Amino acid sequence: HTQTNYLRGQVLKRQSGNLANSLQYRMVSNHAVRIGPGMVYGAAHEFGIPLSAGFYIYPRRAKALRFEYRGQIVYAKRVRQYVPQRPWLAPAIQDYFDSGKGDRLAEATLQEYLDRL
């Protein structure tokens, strides 16, 4: 559900597919699961990174970054950057449970265990 509805351009533009393919889950108890991305930048997209965090972009193959800002060409050795919040996982999970699919899955799983007993 997350890969189809939230990682195909509606919230984040899909480039490599690494974030979509990195979703992991882990059972933390008999009735709870922890879900999250396996990529470090998944949390950065979900929660954002404030400008005050000192996140910088540096040139990789040149001495300076070159970009256009307010109609002027600008060169810089580094640029302080922030990442805005782009929630993708929490809304997908909320939609899933709002649709009733989570309840149906829980009922089916419970019935399966009861049938075994």
- Note the pLDDT tens digit of each residue in 68-91: 989 999 999 999 888 888 888 888
**71, exposed or middle or buried, with CB in 10 Å at 0-12, 13-18, 19+?**
exposed
CB within 8 Å of 29: residues ≥ 6 apart: none
pTM for the predicted model, two decimal places? 0.58
Q: Give the N- to C-terminal CA distance of the chain in Å, as an integer.
A: 32
Q: How confident is the model at residue 115 (pLDDT cuts 50, 70, 90)?
A: very high
Instruction: Note the pLDDT tens digit of each residue in 86-106.
Output: 888 888 888 888 888 888 888
